[in-house]
Structures are given as structure tokens and as C-alpha cells.
């Protein structure tokens, strides 16, 4: 049985491995994201990793996720507004967290001329849609 700690550690390890690969074997190790997570029973949950690519000026519609999402910016700059937090720009090497049901009202490329990419680790109950559109 997978526990919350095991899944979150695995997700963190994935992002950590990505950071190390980008820096080389002798690279510096630095925390990318430290955040409190809700106390959830993770029975029958799975992990999905997706890469989201935004063309210049591209955006995603407002949405929610049923579980925990950890997003890591791979390239460019991403404008994001999650829950009650202020809208913020994340650049390559930065990460942010979404908790279950939080509205991700803004998710877009901050540049009108350069592409942007992020890696998202989604932890959610099996069988639930990974993303649900919302109305702003």
C-alpha cells in the first residue's frame, strides 16, 4: 500500500532527479519546493506526470485537479494563480503546488514571443478526471 509520504517522496524524487540531470552529476543540490500538503488517505491513488507546452502567448482555461499537483517550470516563464494566492510568474527551475479542488484560475505563458514548458506531477484517486474546467 502506498502512503501519502511515499507518493510525495516519489514525486519529489522525480523533480529532484530532473534538476540533477539538468545540472550534471557533480551539480549543486537545492530544494525547489517545500510546502505543506493536506492530510489525505491515498488508497487507490496513482501518479501521472505530464509535460505542458505553451506556445508564445498560450494559456490553459481555468481548471481544478482532484488531487495534489506539483508543477515545475522547465523552460520560459509561466503566469499562475492558484486558489487565494496572488497571481505570480514562475521561471525555469521554480515550482508550485496545487491542492485538491483549488481553482487554477490563471495558467499561461508569460511571454508573447518565447515558448514555455512545465512538468506536472498529478497525484489523484484512480478513475477521476485529472483536470476539470471551471468557470471564472
Contact 62, 134 (CB under 8 A): yes
Chain-wide mean pLDDT for the chain?
85
Q: Which residue has the higher pLDDT, 112 or 40?
A: 112
Answer whether residue 136 shows pLDDT above 70.
no
Contact 69, 122 (CB under 8 A): yes
Domain 4-127 coded CATH 2.60.120.10? yes
Domain boundaries, the chain: 4-127
Residues linked to residue 72 through DSSP beta bridges, in sequence order: 95, 119
Predicted confidence (pLDDT) per residue in 58-73, tens digit = 999 999 999 999 999 9
Q: Which residue has the higher pLDDT, 18 or 134?
A: 134
**73-101 mean pLDDT:** 95
Answer whether residue 104 shows pLDDT above 80.
yes
Cβ neighbours, 10 Å, residue 72: 22
Any idea which residue has 510568474 for its cell? 89
Predicted confidence (pLDDT) per residue in 15-64, tens digit = 545 554 555 566 788 888 888 888 888 889 999 999 999 999 999 999 99
Amino acid at each position: 500500500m502506498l502512503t501519502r509520504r511515499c507518493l510525495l517522496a516519489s514525486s519529489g524524487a522525480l523533480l529532484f532527479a530532473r534538476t540533477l540531470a539538468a545540472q550534471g552529476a557533480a551539480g549543486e543540490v537545492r530544494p525547489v519546493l517545500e510546502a505543506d500538503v493536506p492530510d489525505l488517505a491515498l488508497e487507490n491513488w496513482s501518479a501521472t506526470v505530464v509535460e505542458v507546452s505553451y506556445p508564445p502567448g498560450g494559456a490553459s482555461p481555468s481548471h481544478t485537479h482532484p488531487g495534489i499537483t506539483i508543477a515545475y517550470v522547465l523552460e520560459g516563464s509561466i503566469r499562475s494563480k492558484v486558489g487565494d494566492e496572488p497571481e505570480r510568474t514562475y521561471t525555469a527551475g521554480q515550482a508550485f503546488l496545487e491542492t485538491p479542488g483549488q481553482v487554477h484560475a490563471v495558467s499561461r505563458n508569460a511571454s508573447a514571443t518565447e515558448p514555455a514548458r512545465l512538468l506536472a506531477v498529478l497525484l489523484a484517486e484512480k478513475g477521476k478526471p485529472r483536470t476539470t474546467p471551471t468557470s471564472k
